[in-house]
Amino acid sequence: MNEKKVVIVGAGIVGLSTAYYLHKKGVGVTIIDNTDGTDNCSFGNAGYVSPSHIIPLSSPGIISQGLKWMLNPESPFYIKPRLERDLIKWGWLFKKAATEKRVDAAVPVLYELTVRSQKLYEEIMSQENIEAGYKKSGLLMICKTEEALHHEIELVNLAKSLGLEANTLTREDIERMEPEVEYDMTGGVFFGCDAVMTPDVFMKEFRKKLIADGINIEYNTSLQKIVHQGSSIDRIITDKGEFKADDYVIAAGSWTPELLKQVRVDIPLQAGKGYSLTVPDPVVMPRLPSILAEGKIATTPMMHGLRFAGTMEIAGTQLDINQRRVDGIVKAVKDFMPQFRDQDFSLIKEWAGLRPCTPDGLPYIGRTKRYKNLLVGTGHAMLGLTLGPITGHLLTQEIVGDQPDYSSQLLEVERYA
């Protein structure tokens, strides 16, 4: 039995996974979260558990492509111009990271983390009997143009070189795989290595399991102040009182940098807002999840409907809906999947979530150097659902003093300090 007590801030997939592994080691865990526990970025996302997503967002070509997209209010990517020091610094670091050399260094790290995390999900699902539609179904990339197909084939070659299952498909191949769905496409590729689930169902079931195990989750409780004495965190103050522990984990997604600022831990991070629309009874239900490549739209058959998710809008931490971006998703879906019409979406409530995006596309995972009992787990951007379990596992090893079974300097929390 471990005598340690840990407070985790944030009940997204990272916070819940960390609590799960700490509890298994006998650590006493309290999670605090400022929501009622029914929604955050970990609920309404596209549900992919994706080793194929090994190229970080900051990659060669993204700046020129991004500048073109910026001019179109319905495009998949947008940065709201703001004269803010944090955004300017993040943009500068993002540009610096978008080189072949930096991407070549990031790919093996993302490969290790995604593959390991997928295995951890499989263990959790079977050991805890969680039914959340988890399936290693693979993921289709549907390409309209030769140019997009060419780009995806390069990714297939990279994935294959790492031992991941991936292959190129003709238009006819896809028509055989999806006989009911009409796609306006040239062809596509298939990543057999990817899995999918219904994330909101998983989050509810996982939370139920943690509560049944005796983990204390304080919802509607907001972290306001982190109090330190020298190089140690002494306590945290919330709107519902103080919490004291041996170690503190900040896993507050896109809000983490603001919380850490008060103890002078600087992690460049911007919220990348995305939207999803879940159609409960779609005109056609694809067999497989897919990404509509040029539109950057994820389409995922889920337990309660077909979910379309997309856009990346760097515009601060507000969750308000930008209707032009949502319209852009619907337009792209109709363009790629002509069986869908405007009326299929007219009664659907939009969901918005904030991806915590680092400049180099790699998360911050580990103990801070400035404080011996402060740990951070955030910055997973488009891969946060995928990487929740491995992040919780690695943070747990760090807290209980186990030999880490994976580490990389590229994940260090203060790498930009």
Ligand X SMILES: Cc1cc2nc3c(=O)[nH]c(=O)nc-3n(C[C@H](O)[C@H](O)[C@H](O)COP(=O)(O)OP(=O)(O)OC[C@H]3O[C@@H](n4cnc5c(N)ncnc54)[C@H](O)[C@@H]3O)c2cc1C
> What residue ranges bind ligand X (CB under 6 A)?
9-15, 32-35, 40-42, 45-48, 50, 222-223, 251-253, 255, 259, 274-276, 298, 309, 353, 355-356, 378, 380-386
> Of the two residues 171 and 415, which places its CB atom closer to ligand X in the complex?
415
Write down the least CB distance from residue 172 to ligand X, Å: 28
> Of the two residues 33 and 360, which places its CB atom closer to ligand X in the complex?
33
Write down the least CB distance from residue 176 to ligand X, Å: 25
Write down the least CB distance from residue 320 to ligand X, Å: 14
- Residue 357, CA distances (Å) to 152, 201, 273, 384, 389 in order: 23, 24, 10, 10, 18
Contact (CB, 8 A) for 269 and 251: no
> Of the two residues 186 and 194, which places its CB atom closer to ligand X in the complex?
194
> Of the two residues 171 and 331, which places its CB atom closer to ligand X in the complex?
331
The residue of the chain with the least Cβ separation from ligand X equals: 384
Write down the least CB distance from residue 351 to ligand X, Å: 8
β 305-314/270-279 pair status: antiparallel
**All residues at 6 or more sequence positions from 347 whose CB lies less than 8 Å from its CB, including other chains:** none
Contact (CB, 8 A) for 188 and 125: no
> Of the two residues 186 and 398, which places its CB atom closer to ligand X in the complex?
398
- Residue matched to tokens 């929501």: 35
> Of the two residues 149 and 196, which places its CB atom closer to ligand X in the complex?
196
Write down the least CB distance from residue 290 to ligand X, Å: 12
Separation between Cα atoms, residue 264 and residue 309, nearest integer Å:
35
Class of residue 175 by CB neighbours under 10 A (exposed 0-12, middle 13-18, buried 19+): middle
> What one-character-per-residue DSSP string does 302-328 give?
ETTEEEEEEEEEES-S-----HHHHHH
Write down the least CB distance from residue 117 to ligand X, Å: 9
> Of the two residues 2 and 222, which places its CB atom closer to ligand X in the complex?
222
Separation between Cα atoms, residue 333 and residue 82, nearest integer Å:
30
Separation between Cα atoms, residue 304 and residue 280, nearest integer Å:
6
Write down the least CB distance from residue 160 to ligand X, Å: 22
